[in-house]
Amino acid sequence: MLVFLVFNSSRKIFIAVLLVRFKMLLKDMPNDVRDRIIPVARPLDSVMYECITCGKNYPLTQLLYTCPDDKGLLNVRNNTFDELRQQDPDMLKKIFSLRKSLDDPTIINDQALHGVFRWQELVMPAVGLEDVVYLGEANTPVIAANPFMNEYVGTTFQLKHDGIEPSVSFKDRGMASAVSFLNYLYNNGHLKGFLGICASTGDTSASATLYLSALTHNEGIHSAVLLPKGKVTPAQLSQPLAAGAQVLEVPGVFDDCMDVVQELAANYDVALLNSKNGLRILGQKTFAYETAERFAYDMKDKVIVVPIGNAGNVTSVLSGFLDLYELNMIDTLPKIVGVQSENADPVVTWYETDKFEKVDVTQTGPSTAQAAYIGNPVSFPRVEKLTQEYRSKGGNLHAVRVNEQEIMDNMLLANRNGLTVCTQGGEAIAGLKAAVEKGYVSGTEIAMVDSTSHQIKFAGFQMDYYSDKLRNPSDPGRNYGVIPKKEYVNLPQTVQKDVTAVAQTLGLTK
Ligand SMILES: *Cc1c(COP(=O)(O)O)cnc(C)c1O
Ligand SMILES: [Zn+2]
């Protein structure tokens, strides 16, 4: 490399130096931050459970999901946060950013600093690199929508594609933090073994079992999931099976599965991996951190759009931006727009009426945004509390509902414009358009849409749309009421091995 530098023109030296900076050894990191690049594992009591209802704290050595006193949800409290608040925010930005460039084969698990543990001081200070389970999550691409799509929704937007993750959804962010913490407890003798379990609309189980599969070679570590029978896509069902997990199908909807695993978690020694578990929220906050970093920490006139199901993701987005605000890393809280299908819209109704009531989704009709088809979001109490705090600090949260036709049409339109979104992504884009129409978002604001998964996992809905199978009153469980629009339908054509016939079919003329 040095020889290369010496014998080339100054311009090429500049290019070579840039390359070195992009992939850096620890020894090449700037002097002022070098000794902070590898995060230090703080003692276990640097983090604690904190009940969101009564404020009581509990040690993180127990597998605990609700307050033993009042059944309140537990958040993970970071006792080192005040220390961080004393630090120079620009220095913190520099450390977090440089970790992304660390590529040093002499450091064990160095690649884990490209994932959610790049923000270790904010995500989980008790866990050091040696215990992190990194499978390639986070650090997801940002894609600018084309001019046609911007005009269509009414404002400029970008897509942060969390479908580009190892299990093909954003859930990997939270699973990386939760499973890494379990790994840490196990490796340090706090847990002899555990059964990792979750209820799922498809993506949580895909992610949980993938992360657990990296650990199940250890004695005593097992993995199981509960799924609503027939209510996850074939691709999603294949994932926990591939990971070697025990897969239990329950006739019913997600909320039924969630009821069962909540009871299990309350009465048996299991590691619950739903977003009810505060450890999941920690990693999912990195979506907010990465988004802020992508906008150079200038969140003025920025809007974040998220589909809402069990409300873990919107909880994470709210609390992630609040973290950065508290640390003076951003000085404005972005606007947040949550989106739900009209068939599972308890958060939108709360937004509009200030009253929360769970929705019995067996009475409302099904949703193609199946991964967000939840009538009783477990994290709602967190959302209510965080929204209050968010608003008191000058930010805001809006919520909009969209219908099934809009979800499918927007997914298919986005797919034709370079955006490989799933039905939940279609829901989010439809929600952004609705938010502009309602005046919640103006045409001068820039939106970041959370693309929570990938088109390919939900391709069955596309095929059912093309063949007009999304409305069928005799099958209420699949009667989405969606009418295919001719301009979006695209079916394969059969041709013979004959050049003239093929050319004719393609409309080619000599
Ligand atoms: C889980 C999921 C959601 C909903 O996120 P919550 O945290 O449950 O609100 C949205 N989209 C996809 C693809 C999901 O897997
Ligand atoms: Zn409590």
The per-type count for the chain, helices as H runs and strands as E runs, is 20, 13
Alpha-carbon distances, residue 442 vs 31, 156, 177, 203 (angstroms): 44, 10, 35, 32
Residue 35: both structure tokens together? 């000794």
Residue 186: both structure tokens together? 């196990």
Residue 49 Cα to ligand 2 middle (Å): 10
Nearest CA to ligand 1 atom 3: 372
Nearest CA to ligand 1 atom 10: 372
Per-residue pLDDT of the chain (510 residues; tens, 9 = 90+): 333 444 444 555 444 444 445 789 999 999 999 999 999 999 999 999 999 999 999 999 989 999 999 999 999 999 999 999 999 999 999 999 999 999 999 999 999 999 999 999 999 999 999 999 999 999 999 999 999 999 999 999 999 999 999 999 999 999 999 999 999 999 999 999 999 999 999 999 999 999 999 999 999 999 999 999 999 999 999 999 999 999 999 999 999 999 999 999 989 989 999 999 999 999 999 999 999 999 999 999 999 999 999 999 999 999 999 999 999 999 999 999 999 999 999 999 999 999 999 999 999 999 999 999 999 999 999 999 999 999 999 999 999 999 999 999 999 999 999 999 999 999 999 999 999 999 999 999 999 999 999 999 999 999 999 999 999 889 888 999 999 999 999 999 999 999 999 999 999 998
318-350 pLDDT, tens digit each: 999 999 999 999 999 999 999 999 999 999 999
CB atoms within 10 A of CB 88: 9
Residue 506 Cα to ligand 1 middle (Å): 40
CB atoms within 10 A of CB 127: 26
Point out the ligand nearest to the CA of residue 305: 1
Residues with CB under 6 A from ligand 1: 169, 171, 203, 275, 307-313, 371-372, 422, 424, 452-453
How open is the CA angle 403-336-401, to the nearest 5 degrees?
Answer: 15
- The predicted pLDDT at position 278 comes to 97
Residue 67: both structure tokens together? 């307050």
Residue 50 Cα to ligand 2 middle (Å): 8
422-439 pLDDT, tens digit each: 999 999 999 999 999 999
> Which domains, from first to last, does the chain contain?
142-168+281-478 (3.40.50.1100)
Could you identify the atom of ligand 1 that is nearest to the CA of residue 202? 15
Residue 370 Cα to ligand 1 middle (Å): 9
- The predicted pLDDT at position 21 comes to 53
63: region left, alpha or beta (phi > 0 left; psi from -120 to 50 alpha):
beta
Point out the ligand nearest to the CA of residue 73: 2
